[in-house]
Amino acid sequence: MAEVAQVFLRLGATAFGGPAAHIGMMHDEFVTRRKWVDDQRFLDLLGATNLIPGPNSTEMAIHLGYLRAGWRGLIVAGVCFVLPAMLIVMAIAWAYERLGATPEASWLMYGIEPVIIAIVSLALWELGKRVTRNHLALSVGAAAMAMSLVGFNPIPLLIAGGAAVGLIRNSARLRDVRSAGLLLPVALVAWPAASDVAFSLTRLFLVFLKIGSVLYGSGYVLLAFLQNDLVDRLGWITQDELLTAVAIGQFTPGPLFTSATFIGYLLNGIPGALVATLGIFLPSFVFVAISNPLIPRLRSSAWASAILDGVNAVSLGLMAAVTLQLARNALVDPLTLALALGAGVLLFRFRLNSIWIIALGAAVGRLVGWVQPGV
């Protein structure tokens, strides 16, 4: 147990670069060096994380902790992987709350926000290349993007997209595809419309618990859910605060989902940060505990594979929609547009680490603030 705690605390404090980088670090640590699992078992675990909602790298940590030390290892590995990032983000949120309204901080975000748009756009491009190879998934993703832009709730879109691809690909297995197809409009129409509600820690926990329970795909899809729930529906945070939260989640180690920690702190200090973090990560522990014994069956299921493809396509559509919405606020003049394009070139052509790209954006923003202090 001490070994599990030590190694995941270290990974959680040094795992920069996003989920793909985290997975690479875990492969080196647990397959190559420590030999906890072999390549095939590692790939099986990675495949299983794609079949359940939540942050893939965190779920890999939970899986590996469970294999090494049972139920206690499951909890310790997940908590230790998330804890360093949570504490770092809380410290940054404390500073932001005191400095965020100053002209200096505003200029920093002026330079950072266009860079975040470039980072998210590149992630969307890389993930979207897989979807564009499949006309059905591409159509589902495009429809989800269009429906999201006109105000549809992300959760029924995920349900409908997964069901549509699952039913169409497995139509030969059904006796009556037309009857089964009625599930799609029901999923869209029957989803209860949410109304604005006052802030409370219970509601904050439930919002992030829901997000952690249904969010598939890249961590950047988190943007769509945060935009829909916290900006558009509840009005608890602004779009600028949302972009700041994503930026902080990006340049700190550990999972991008610790953006929830930042938002929770802004809304209710340390209690809000703890409640939001618990809400968004708790489903991952539950899903891993349930799915770990089922991995061999899930891996070969035609239904699970098809539904996952549909859900992933919708996730990318939601991600594209929210990127367009955020870009309208971040790209406000020729300089911010140039920053976004330049960041895109550095990321796509030279593969510069996103941490340095964000730092560069912050430096440009601060320089502009010095040159134009009264603007």
Q: Where are the domains of the chain?
A: 2-371
Q: Is 153 left (phi over 0), alpha (psi -120 to 50) or beta?
A: beta
Does residue 17 have a pLDDT over 70? no
Best-predicted range by mean pLDDT among 95-104, 270-279, 293-302, 323-332? 270-279
Q: What is the C-alpha separation between 82 and 60, in angstroms, rounded?
A: 12
Which residue has better confidence, 128 or 204?
204
Q: Which helix (H) or strand (E) holds 229?
A: none
Reported as a pLDDT band with limits 50, 70 and 90, residue 222 is: confident
Does residue 180 have a pLDDT over 50? no
- List the one residue out of 144, 151, 153 whose CA is nearest residue 207: 153
Reported as a pLDDT band with limits 50, 70 and 90, residue 178 is: very low
Q: What is the pTM of this model?
A: 0.71
Residue 375, judged by CB atoms within 10 A of its CB (0-12, 13-18, 19+), counts as: exposed
pLDDT in tens, 274-325: 999 999 999 999 999 988 877 667 656 778 778 877 877 887 788 788 788 8
User: Which string of b and e fits 147-172 if b means at least 16 CB within 10 Å?
Assistant: bbeeebbbbbbbbbbbbbbbbebbee
Reported as a pLDDT band with limits 50, 70 and 90, residue 105 is: low
Which of 21-35, 101-115, 245-259 comes out lowest in average pLDDT?
A: 101-115
Instruction: Specify whether the CB–CB gap between 71 and 292 falls below 8 A.
Output: no
Q: What is the C-alpha separation between 195 and 264, in angstroms, rounded?
A: 20
- List the one residue out of 150, 114, 128, 129 whose CA is nearest residue 345: 114
Q: What is the C-alpha separation between 188 and 27, in angstroms, rounded?
A: 40
Does residue 53 have a pLDDT over 90? no
Q: What is the pLDDT of residue 275?
A: 97
